[in-house]
Amino acid sequence: MVMDQERPNDESYNIGDFTFLVDRDFMEKVKPIKVDFKNVGFSIDANIDLSQADGGGCSGCGSTSSCCS
């Protein structure tokens, strides 16, 4: 999860004071997604095992991330 600009294929979810952007194609692969706020950040649960992604995990959907294809 990273800060990013909205793109044409993104779905926008406004929850409280936060706006979450998720690529529609990615959402079809991982839905449902559950995001919880913790004392030190966010916890993300999805219907996909991200531990098998290149590098052993997913750090976000930036241009170098391996889990946002």
User: For 2-13, what is the mean pLDDT?
Assistant: 92
Lowest mean pLDDT among 9-13, 24-28, 30-34, 47-51: 47-51
For the chain, the distance separating the N- and C-terminal CA atoms, rounded to the nearest angstrom, is 14
Question: What integer is the mean pLDDT of 2-19?
Answer: 91
Per the domain annotation, does 4 fall within a domain? no
Classify residue 47: in a domain, yes or no: yes
CA–CA distance, 47 with 28 (Å, rounded to integer): 10
Tell whether 1 is covered by a domain.
Answer: no
Q: What is d(CA 51, CA 49) in angstroms, rounded to the nearest whole number? A: 6
Q: Helices (H) and strands (E) in the chain — how many of each? A: 1, 4
pLDDT the model gives residue 11 = 93
Question: Per the structure, how many domains does the chain have?
Answer: 1
Average of pLDDT values for 39-66? Answer: 62
- 33 lies in which domain range? 10-53
Domain assignment present for residue 68? The answer is: no
For residues 67 and 14, which has the higher predicted lDDT (pLDDT)?
14
Average pLDDT over residues 7-35: 91
